[in-house]
Amino acid sequence: MIVLGIETSCDETSVAVVRDGVDILSNVVSSQVDLHERFGGVVPELASRRHLESILPVLEEALRDAGIKLGDVDGVAVTCGPGLVVALLVGVAAAKAISYILGVPIVGVNHIEGHIYSNILYHRELSPPFMCLVVSGGHTVLCRVIDHGRYEILGRTRDDAAGEAFDKVAKMLGLGYPGGPIIDMLAKNGNPKAVRFPKARMKEGGLDFSFSGIKTAVLRFISSSPGVSREDIAASFQEAVVQALLQNTISGMDMSGDRDLAVAGGVAANSRLREALEDVARRKGWRLFIPPPSLCTDNAAMIAAVGYHKLVRGKSSDIFLSAYPVLPLSNWDESGERGVRIP
């Protein structure tokens, strides 16, 4: 089954062609970083307009790269939330038009589910149940993947997402956007023990995360301690975030008894997080799964992979599918007819 994936939830326009949920025939990503860089974050209206300009050229390139014609597509999977509504709507409208013209099914996909499936897509030996840590610019979620499409959320951020904290701290330090990769690079030449920033975890609230406290602590530190290098601040901040992600993940793994840990989302590309996770996995005897950086960040191949698993299970949406800024990970109604119902 050939599934066309479409992703426009934030600042990447992406179209991919995936065969049978595992073979990536193409995965074209058109980044808007140049557009949002000077604002230090994504401007929704600008993102939407750029998606509109890019969607057809990106679609054409994805078909060309895959060596197929549009008529060869058996189903269309599109991110319908969570994300920026004005951005999501561009992908959803394109997907509906393709599905209507070809007479093939369309299925709405949760963006976070896409990140989780980047692991199932890339690591053929991975199958549920497993634990997944999703760490991106918009989300920080620790969840158990019980089965395809069935999730149990153990922890999520109460405020900023991990990637968002990286981006905001980079902005405070006068670095570029997105901040995560720049802090990652800078931290390699810094001392992670130079500054003790507060733990980015909740004192109460189980395995939830909180990154706003550490962000404020960095801001205060910058204005009160002018002598400390940006490298040291970056390394110390990064270490505090990594330790919070690590501690909650270890607690979740110990509680559930899982042996397989998957990590996904843009922050999964962070070299210090990877190193710390590899170390703990070796000590605990876990299998650790992290996709390559191109599948960690937003891309449509992961959306097509979710779509494939939904379509083979007989789940699809209809022409009433819309875009949803907030969308639960499971227990929502893919058939757009009645909209999204949160139980």
Task: Report the interface residues with Zn ion, using CB under 5 A.
Answer: 136, 298
User: In the complex, what is the shortest distance from the CB of residue 294 to Zn ion, in angstroms, rounded to a whole number?
Assistant: 13
Contacts of the segment 83-86: beta carbons below 8 A, 24+ positions apart: 83/8, 83/9, 83/10, 83/111, 83/138, 83/323, 83/325, 84/9, 84/10, 84/42, 84/44, 84/47, 84/48, 84/325, 85/44, 85/323, 85/324, 85/325, 86/44, 86/45, 86/47, 86/48
User: In the complex, what is the shortest distance from the CB of residue 298 to Zn ion, in angstroms, rounded to a whole number?
Assistant: 4
Residue placing its CB nearer to ligand KG4 in the complex, 105 or 266? 266
Residue placing its CB nearer to Zn ion in the complex, 104 or 116? 116
Token pair of 292 as six digits: 């390559």
User: In the complex, what is the shortest distance from the CB of residue 69 to ligand KG4, in angstroms, rounded to a whole number?
Assistant: 30
Residue 208 binding: pick among ligand KG4, Zn ion, none (C-beta 5-8 Å cut-off by kind): none
User: In the complex, what is the shortest distance from the CB of residue 209 to ligand KG4, in angstroms, rounded to a whole number?
Assistant: 14
Interface ranges with ligand KG4 (CB under 6 A): 10, 136-138, 163-164, 166-167, 178-181, 184, 265-267, 269-270, 297-298
User: In the complex, what is the shortest distance from the CB of residue 193 to ligand KG4, in angstroms, rounded to a whole number?
Assistant: 19
Residue 167 binding: pick among ligand KG4, Zn ion, none (C-beta 5-8 Å cut-off by kind): ligand KG4
Residue 178 binding: pick among Zn ion, ligand KG4, none (C-beta 5-8 Å cut-off by kind): ligand KG4
Torsion angles phi and psi, residue 128, rounded to 5: -65, 155
Nearest-10 Cα torsion for 257, 258, 264, 269: 80
Q: Please, is 137 exposed, middle or buried when counting C-beta atoms within 10 Å of its C-beta (0-12, 13-18, 19+)?
A: buried
Residue placing its CB nearer to ligand KG4 in the complex, 148 or 274? 274
Torsion angles phi and psi, residue 78, rounded to 5: -140, 140
The whole-angstrom separation of Cα 248 and Cα 269 is 19
Residue 270 binding: pick among Zn ion, ligand KG4, none (C-beta 5-8 Å cut-off by kind): ligand KG4
Token pair of 80 as six digits: 């319908």
Residue placing its CB nearer to Zn ion in the complex, 75 or 82? 82
Q: Please, is 129 exposed, middle or buried when counting C-beta atoms within 10 Å of its C-beta (0-12, 13-18, 19+)?
A: middle
Residue placing its CB nearer to ligand KG4 in the complex, 269 or 323? 269
Residue 141 binding: pick among ligand KG4, Zn ion, none (C-beta 5-8 Å cut-off by kind): none
Residue placing its CB nearer to ligand KG4 in the complex, 174 or 257? 174
Residue placing its CB nearer to ligand KG4 in the complex, 4 or 273? 273
User: In the complex, what is the shortest distance from the CB of residue 28 to Zn ion, in angstroms, rounded to a whole number?
Assistant: 16
Q: Please, is 125 exposed, middle or buried when counting C-beta atoms within 10 Å of its C-beta (0-12, 13-18, 19+)?
A: exposed
User: In the complex, what is the shortest distance from the CB of residue 300 to ligand KG4, in angstroms, rounded to a whole number?
Assistant: 12
